[in-house]
Structures are given as C-alpha cells and as structure tokens.
Amino acid sequence: MHAQLRKSVDVQSLDPTVLGEQLGHLSSLGKQVSEASAAILKHYLTFLGTTANFGGSVEDFKQTFEFLSRMAGDSPIVAPYLEDDEANGAFESMPFVFAARELIGWVGEGKPTTPAGVLTGETLQDAAQALGMFIKVDESAEAIEHPEWEPEDGTSVPSLADIPRLSAYWDALIGTALLRYQAPNATPTESLSEALLATSGAGSRLIKELIAEVLYSHILINTLEKPGQAQIAEMVAGVLSNAASTNTVRTEFALQIPTKEDLPEEQHHLIPSLEEVVPQVESLLRVFEREGLVQITEEITVPIVLRSSLERALGKVSEHVLKTDSDSNDSEA
C-alpha cells in the first residue's frame, strides 16, 4: 500500500507524507486498525535503523519515528538501552539519589510516625533537617496556601504537607517499600536500603529508577490536585515528555511568554493567561531540575537513565486524571 501511494518501491525508507495519507485511509476502518498499522510500520522502521539499512538522514528517521509513535498511540519518550554499570554510574551524580540516601540514613532502625505513616512534631523537624531544611514545626500554625518546595530557614509549618520536598521523598521511600510501617515506627527494608546505598548491580539501579518514578508522579499529581494548577501540571508533563524524546526542547521557546507580535490577533486574548502560567511552569520545572530529574541549559532534557521512570510516571498521572474524571462523572450522575 505504501509503495502504491508513493508510486515507487523503496523498502529502505518511509515517506511521512505518504504515511499520513495511508494511515488516514486506514483510520476510516477504525482507530484500532490505524494504530495497529502504525505500530507495525514503527517496528519495521526500528528494524531499518538498528540494522543500518535506513535510506534517509538521521532527521528523516526522527521525524518518521515521532510521527508513527503518535499515530500508534505510543509515548514519544525514547529510552536507549543502558548497561547496569553505566546506569548506576549516572545515578551517582544525581541529587535525588543523595537526598534519598540521606533520608533513609536518618531513619536508621526506625522513626515514630502516625498510624498512616506520616511524620509529625519534632520527628518531622528532624527529618526536614536531614534534607538540609531548617524549619520549625508548630502544629497550631496555619497551613501554608502555596508552600515553597524548600521552605526558608526558620519557617513555621504545621504538617508534612507544608514541606513539599520532604513530603515527596517520604512518599518515595514508602511507595518503593524502602520503608514499611511497623507500629509505632516506620522502619527500613534492609535489602532495599542496601540496594539504594550500593553503587553497582541491577537491584541498585532498579530502586533508584523506582524512586525517580515516584518523585515524578508525586510532584505532577500533587500539582494537578491543587485548584487552578491542573494546566500547569499538564504543560510541564508535555515539556518533560518532549524533553525525553528525539525532539529538541529549546528552553528559550518552551519558557517564552509570547507577545502580540508572536501570535495572530485572534489569539491575543491568551497572553494574560500565559503571562501567569508560564512562570509557574518554569518554577515547577526548576523543582525537577533541583532534584536532578531534568536538565535545563539551552535545551531542556531528561537524563537518558531516567526516561523509563518518567514514562511510567506519566502513565500513573494519566490514570489519575482518567480516574478523577470518571469519579466526577459518577458523582454528577
């Protein structure tokens, strides 16, 4: 079919324009038909690339791969294969690994929590200090409406939820089973703690990937659940997804607030909203950068070693959105 539309037989490359026409015809038979066909063509394209038989340029390959990924309903994230030693070597320089080790080291043989595994009082204050945050816990203080990722030294907070960075890491330790609750303490899982502290081996790599996955999903889902912040989370998720793909994300464009000269007149009404939203998008991206989960220079990129973690996390975020929408529809019914 591709050859007929192209009016030539070339088994070493695929024409995106012809692919669009081809998959457009197939979509008339049903979405599943076009998605399955795109998936088959993507496998074939990957075969051409891995066997060095692709007939076009690198840019041609990227363009076609991205197009077929979208048409197949796949994530655009590209996660090249890494050996365990290479992956563990990359993890050693990442702030989130250091922070997780510091926190699990602070827990030691166990720390008291509520029955739900939540830190409170002086223990919460000590946990924050383990991550380099010198705050005061005052349970009678008012909750902070928009708490900073890392509260300034001396800030009084009433609960764990008011220390977003500590909350995210505590969630990561519990979510990966590094910590388990044994009344009245949260205690480390010895084998997983050893894996986190190790610098080699498949187990060490896996626990670090899982921590990154929980951090990505925790931050995005928490942002989604804040009133008026859903758009911020969605935009950041989109930037991260592209930053982990073969597409280059230029920082100056991704974080640029457009002017009237940049947009057609019928879109000028969007500018006030973007003036408010874009700085918040950058702020959230800087949170990911602070923990080593994204790199922001002239381009925004997700480290190769973290791309599988991000892909799984974005899947969790999508499931959360779908569940929220479903629950909302059920309550309205």
Residue 172 or residue 184, greater confidence: 172
The fraction of the chain above a pLDDT of 90, given in percent, is: 52
Apex 172 CA angle, 166 and 173, nearest 5:
90
Q: How confident is the model at residue 237 (pLDDT cuts 50, 70, 90)?
A: very high
pLDDT, tens digit, 9 for 90 and up, residues 115-168: 888 999 999 999 999 999 999 999 998 988 889 999 999 999 999 999 999 999
**What's the pLDDT at 110?**
94
**What's the pLDDT at 332?**
61
Of 96-110, 160-174, 293-307, 317-331, minimum mean pLDDT range: 317-331
The fraction of the chain above a pLDDT of 70, given in percent, is: 92
CB distance 141 to 157 below 8 Å: yes
**Strand pairing category for 156-157 and 136-137:** parallel
**Strand pairing category for 249-250 and 136-137:** unpaired
pLDDT, tens digit, 9 for 90 and up, residues 33-50: 888 888 888 878 877 776
Q: How confident is the model at residue 327 (pLDDT cuts 50, 70, 90)?
A: low
Give which of 320, 255, 304, 246 is closest to 75, Cα–Cα: 246
Give which of 186, 184, 185, 203 is closest to 195, Cα–Cα: 203
Q: How confident is the model at residue 112 (pLDDT cuts 50, 70, 90)?
A: very high
Backbone angles phi, psi at 16, to 5 degrees: -55, -35
**What's the pLDDT at 186?**
93
Mean pLDDT for the stretch of residues 180-207: 94
Q: Which two tokens stand for residue 235?
A: 């935009």
**What's the pLDDT at 81?**
85
Give which of 20, 13, 211, 11 is closest to 104, Cα–Cα: 211
**Strand pairing category for 295-296 and 156-157:** unpaired
Mean pLDDT for the stretch of residues 189-201: 96
Mean pLDDT for the stretch of residues 313-318: 89
Please tell me the distance from the alpha carbon of residue 215 to that of residue 167, in angstroms, as a whole number.
Answer: 10
**What's the pLDDT at 73?**
66
How many Cβ atoms are within 10 Å of 65's Cβ, its own excluded? Answer: 21
What is the 3-state secondary structure of the chain? Answer: CHHHHHCCCCCCCCCHHHHHHHHHHHHCCCHHHHHHHHHHHHHHHHHHHHCCCCCCCHHHHHHHHHHHHHHCCCCCCCCCCCCHHHHHHHHCCCHHHHHHHHHHHHHCCCEECCCCCCCCHHHHHHHHHHCCCCCEECCCCCCCCCCCCCCCCCCEECCHHHCHHHHHHHHHHHHCCCEEEECCEEEECHHHHHHHHCCCCHHHHHHHHHHHHHHHHHHHHHHHCCCCCHHHHHHHHHHHHHHCCCCCEEHHHHCCCCCCCCCCHHHHHHHHHHHHHHHHHHHHHHHHHHCCCCEECCEEECCHHHHHHHHHHHHHHHHHHHHHHHHHHHHHC
What is the reported pTM? 0.78
**What's the pLDDT at 55?**
79
